[in-house]
Structure 1
Amino acid sequence: MNRIALVAALSLAALPQSPALSKDTAGYQVKAADVLATEKALAGPEMRGRGSGTADEARAAAWVAAQFEKAGLSKAPGMAGYTQTAPLVRHTVAGIPTLTVGGAAVPGVSVLMTGGGRVGGKVGIMTDPAGAVPDADVIVYTGPADKLMQLRRVARGKTKLLLAAESDVTRRYLNMIGGKPQIRTTLEGAPERPSLAVAALPAEALARIAAGSEVTLDVPVATEKGVTTNAIGYLPGTDPKAGVILLSAHLDHLGVRPDGVVMPGANDDASGTVAVIELARSFAAMGPQKRGILFVAYGSEEIGGLGSTWFGERPPVPLSDLVANIEFEMIGAQDPKLPKGSLMMTGSERSNLFEMMKSQGALIAADPYPDQHFFERSDNYSLALKGIVAHTFSGWAVVPTYHQPTDTIENLDIDYMTNAIRSLIAPVRLLASGDFKPEWKAGGQPKP
């Protein structure tokens, strides 16, 4: 047993107990008190923010796994227990980053994110965030500060380094990640993928960088090995040929910042994990459906969807057996742009799952933020790229507490969560017990 697994096992006894299950004919009833109790177990001080790939994440995964077992779920096919671990290579900044322009050092650089090491090349200037990305290794962005992160998503894979002026946006982002650059953690043995470094520097220094200049960013790094943990429970189906439904969420969050501040992650994504646990309790009490149901809580979503990537590469059932995946992400607060009580379904226009779920009483609505590309920004996406109809159900995706120390239980709407989870039981049961098989609409399936 490795050190992280040992810490997780020894800590289980000290954690809050789950609510008692009812096995009577009425089945398990989703109650606000139980939703709150599970939230307190996951987002309380004992879990220390469930940092990705840490002993705290492993402890949270062990607790979720224990809830699956206690509910009466089986181990997934081929698994010896209720957790799945994946080896990580963690990179850390080992020195002061330096930025040079034409060989001369530029002071005041703040690195927001990096793959580590040295990147650079000739500069292209970009002012319009909606315009074409210049064919250059380094982009100097001079447009609106509030569009920087949107541009980052567009520029990924098209350039190596994105430079922008220091602003409230960059300062808030650095504060959110603890004042140190966000640096990639990878699955051990995974092929190297190109990364995009993002850095900010004083506006006057940025203005002096001309198109065609040679710019280099050097970030010294060190590496260490780690582990991330998924929790997996399984309700076998009565018809092995009917396929399997996957209900999932990510259990990790940002952990403890370098300044000692704990990031509780009550909404992101303890709330989604609560939904998976409550549905697991409900369906375990009902008993087997025609289709099997996998209940999964992934680790290390916050550092690149590593737990879901590992699961997708080593699933306990063949991916060809997966009929659909519903991911739960941040369901703890009502988005003011959604109909009262509703969750949003990302990519709702891409498949026929939305219409089926809604017709059966699911409190869901279309994503009101198509420009934010939320469909591509959660654990569902890696499975969607493999052809599986996979969507995320979310509450307030741009909630003010996002990645803040204020993402606490006190800022959740427990009644909203409870009602939303209850509304999903009937449509998920139809999905698991009937013959309906979700399909992509024309042009809906994303391409790798």
Structure 2
Amino acid sequence: MFRRSAVAAIAALALFAAPVRAQTAPVVVDPAWVAAHEAFLAGDVLRGRGSATHDEAVAAAYVAAQFQGFGLQPAPGMDGYTQTAPVIRTTPSGTASLSIGGITLSQMDGLGLLSGAGTALRGRVEVVTGNDPAALPAAEIVMIAPPEGPAVGAWINTAFRRGNRLVILRETAALREAVARSSPNRPGLTLAGTAPRSSPVLVVVPAMTWDRMALMPGTGAVWEPGPAHVEETVTTNAVGWLPGTDPDAGVILISAHLDHLGVRPDGVIMHGANDDASGVTAVLELARALSNGEPHRRGILFVAYGSEEVGGLGSHWFGDHPPVPLTDIVANLEIEMIGAQDPQMPDGVMMMTGFDRSDFGSTLQARGALIAPDLYPEQNFFERSDNYQLALQGVVAHTISGWAVTPTYHSAEDDIAHLDIPFMTRAIQSLVEPLRWLASSDFTPAWTPGGQPQPR
């Protein structure tokens, strides 16, 4: 029943979003509009906008309707405002097991699964000691005893970069809580026709059992993910186009991701009000603002990607099927989690990942954008959002965030009640004129020496 209500709401909202391109006065971002977008995107009706679900598609339809109401056009070569990508959904059975030496654990008997079921794997185990993530070897199977607290994130990030296939973590209080919050049988998604992601399987083993296993370094390990159910589905991007007056001036891309974690097995909705309904709200309000007044010299693409949470599938598809050549995109501003501010940042200011990699951030900052460098370079946030797909292909692309390490991250508390609407409103407002200037200027952002990432 709610699906009909959602579609009706989208249609009604589109009627009120009339084009206003004739306006010339500066556009003021209204907190009531910000709250209205959040109320729909992060409300119960969309059930957490799970990746490649009907709820994600409804969110994309909402954004598409808003784009059309603002007077945006379908992007070149598109006949509408949504772009769908074929996806393969693989649902684990929950019967994964790990054997090292004579010790066997299963998901039903002490084995915690944090991410990925992967494929069956056999190999020798390397035990990592010490507290320095940089010591993590590029081995297929590693055992790690991380310290208590959030420092485990640095180990996991390093494992992703090292190419480890199976990471066996010694249980800590923080990891125990993470396993309790996780959805161990959450489906894995890949774009049809592509190989599954090479991200590691992360498992958590009770401390005493881990200690026994660690006494057998070099012993062979066997990982069995168990059977899985495979089906075809789609993920959806919403795309709006604001043409420029000079076809040779290039294009600006402003983006965020639509999806979140959906509904937990216990029925709790993971609303994702901050991650990343807040970014989508910013894209919508920037589309509203920048579609007002005289046309800009450069065209502007506004995009809300699907399936970021499962590996950036929507941005991967967009990068492989762009409506304009990627070489025409002079800069990409990705907006991720601006619903709350990091207390370590100056009042009202957001952080930009990879700030020093290009002159994009400093130029926007000089024009009044409330942004500053990333406080957490060790977390590699630059590589962990949709901007990275385009940065690897040469586009100057960065992500801005209000509080990248917010305590509500991927928790049930990431809801509307925990948003700072005044901060969001001020942050979005600060981007309007700098982006308007960029869209009308001759300035083209450029990578600093060594700043452009290279494919591994």
Greater shift, 221-230 or 53-62, is seen at 221-230
Does residue 11 of structure 1 match 2:6? yes
Provide closer, same or farther for how the CA distance between residues 8 and 81 of structure 1 changes in structure 2, counting only shifts above 3 A.
farther
Provide closer, same or farther for how the CA distance between residues 228 and 334 of structure 1 changes in structure 2, counting only shifts above 3 A.
same
Q: How does 1:24-173 map to 2 (within 5 A)?
A: 24-26=23-25, 28-102=27-101, 104-106=103-105, 107-128=109-130, 129-134=132-137, 136-146=139-149, 147-156=151-160, 157-173=162-178
Q: What is the aligned residue count?
A: 442
Q: Which residue of 2 aligns with 1:3?
A: none
Q: Which residue of 2 aligns with 1:4?
A: none
Whichever residue aligns with residue 248 of structure 1, its letter is: S
Runs of 4+ in structure 1 off by over 4 angstroms are 7-10, 18-23
Q: Which residue of 1 aligns with 2:181?
A: 176
For residue 373 of structure 1, report the CA deviation from its aligned partner. Answer: 1.0
Provide closer, same or farther for how the CA distance between residues 433 and 116 of structure 1 changes in structure 2, counting only shifts above 3 A.
same
Q: Decide which of 197, 205, 211 is 1:207's aligned counterpart.
A: 211
Q: Secondary structure at the match of 1:227?
A: strand
Provide closer, same or farther for how the CA distance between residues 11 and 32 of structure 1 changes in structure 2, counting only shifts above 3 A.
closer
Q: CA RMSD in A?
A: 1.9
Provide closer, same or farther for how the CA distance between residues 132 and 425 of structure 1 changes in structure 2, counting only shifts above 3 A.
same
Unmatched runs of 5 consecutive residues or more in structure 1: 1-6
Q: Secondary structure at the match of 1:401?
A: coil
Q: How does 1:369-380 map to 2 (within 5 A)?
A: 369-380=376-387
Quick one: distance in 1 between partners of 2:412 and 2:211? 34
Whichever residue aligns with residue 77 of structure 1, its letter is: P
Greater shift, 130-139 or 432-441, is seen at 130-139
Unmatched runs of 5 consecutive residues or more in structure 2: none
Provide closer, same or farther for how the CA distance between residues 264 and 188 of structure 1 changes in structure 2, counting only shifts above 3 A.
same
CA contact (8 A) 2:89 2:233 kept: yes
CA contact (8 A) 2:188 2:310 kept: yes
CA contact (8 A) 1:38 1:274 kept: yes
Structure 1 residues 299-338: Cα deviation after superposition (integer angstroms, max 9, x where no partner)? 1011111101100000000000000000000001111111
CA contact (8 A) 2:245 2:297 kept: yes
CA contact (8 A) 2:140 2:164 kept: yes
For residue 131 of structure 1, report the CA deviation from its aligned partner. Answer: 3.6
For residue 225 of structure 1, report the CA deviation from its aligned partner. Answer: 1.2
Q: Which residue of 2 aligns with 1:438?
A: 445
CA contact (8 A) 1:253 1:302 kept: yes
Q: Secondary structure at the match of 2:291?
A: helix
CA contact (8 A) 1:252 1:300 kept: yes
CA contact (8 A) 1:124 1:135 kept: no
Does residue 393 of structure 1 match 2:388? no
Whichever residue aligns with residue 197 of structure 1, its letter is: V
Provide closer, same or farther for how the CA distance between residues 297 and 8 of structure 1 changes in structure 2, counting only shifts above 3 A.
farther
CA contact (8 A) 1:87 1:228 kept: yes
For residue 194 of structure 1, report the CA deviation from its aligned partner. Answer: 2.9
Quick one: distance in 2 between partners of 1:103 and 1:159? 23
Structure 1 residues 116-151: Cα deviation after superposition (integer angstroms, max 9, x where no partner)? 331231011102342422353311112314333321
Quick one: distance in 2 between partners of 1:27 and 1:369? 34
Quick one: distance in 2 between partners of 1:148 and 1:215? 23
CA contact (8 A) 1:250 1:301 kept: yes
Length-normalised TM-score, structure 1? 0.94
Q: Secondary structure at the match of 1:400?
A: coil
Q: Secondary structure at the match of 2:433?
A: helix
For residue 158 of structure 1, report the CA deviation from its aligned partner. Answer: 3.0
Quick one: distance in 2 between partners of 1:377 and 1:194? 15
Provide closer, same or farther for how the CA distance between residues 10 and 20 of structure 1 changes in structure 2, counting only shifts above 3 A.
closer
For residue 344 of structure 1, report the CA deviation from its aligned partner. Answer: 0.7
For residue 176 of structure 1, report the CA deviation from its aligned partner. Answer: 3.0
Q: Secondary structure at the match of 2:80?
A: coil
Greater shift, 12-21 or 107-116, is seen at 12-21
Greater shift, 381-390 or 23-32, is seen at 23-32
Quick one: distance in 1 between partners of 2:5 and 2:32? 27
Q: Which residue of 1 aligns with 2:256?
A: 249
Provide closer, same or farther for how the CA distance between residues 155 and 94 of structure 1 changes in structure 2, counting only shifts above 3 A.
same
Structure 1 residues 380-410: Cα deviation after superposition (integer angstroms, max 9, x where no partner)? 0111111110000110111111111111112
Q: Which residue of 1 aligns with 2:330?
A: 323
CA contact (8 A) 2:360 2:446 kept: yes
Whichever residue aligns with residue 145 of structure 2, its letter is: T
Q: Secondary structure at the match of 2:164?
A: coil
For residue 171 of structure 1, report the CA deviation from its aligned partner. Answer: 2.3
Quick one: distance in 2 between partners of 1:39 and 1:225? 30
Whichever residue aligns with residue 289 of structure 1, its letter is: H
Q: Secondary structure at the match of 1:438?
A: coil
How many percent of aligned residue pairs carry the same amino acid?
51
Quick one: distance in 2 between partners of 1:267 and 1:417? 10
Whichever residue aligns with residue 122 of structure 1, its letter is: R
Provide closer, same or farther for how the CA distance between residues 195 and 398 of structure 1 changes in structure 2, counting only shifts above 3 A.
closer
Quick one: distance in 1 between partners of 2:153 and 2:189? 20
CA contact (8 A) 1:236 1:292 kept: yes
Whichever residue aligns with residue 314 of structure 2, its letter is: G
Provide closer, same or farther for how the CA distance between residues 27 and 143 of structure 1 changes in structure 2, counting only shifts above 3 A.
closer
Whichever residue aligns with residue 126 of structure 2, its letter is: G
Quick one: distance in 1 between partners of 2:314 and 2:282? 18
Whichever residue aligns with residue 49 of structure 1, its letter is: G
Structure 1 residues 228-251: Cα deviation after superposition (integer angstroms, max 9, x where no partner)? 000000001100000000000001
For residue 9 of structure 1, report the CA deviation from its aligned partner. Answer: 8.0
Q: Decide which of 244, 268, 283 is 1:237's aligned counterpart.
A: 244
Quick one: distance in 2 between partners of 1:29 and 1:382? 32
CA contact (8 A) 2:243 2:300 kept: yes
Greater shift, 129-138 or 407-416, is seen at 129-138
Q: Which residue of 1 aligns with 2:305?
A: 298
Length-normalised TM-score, structure 2? 0.93
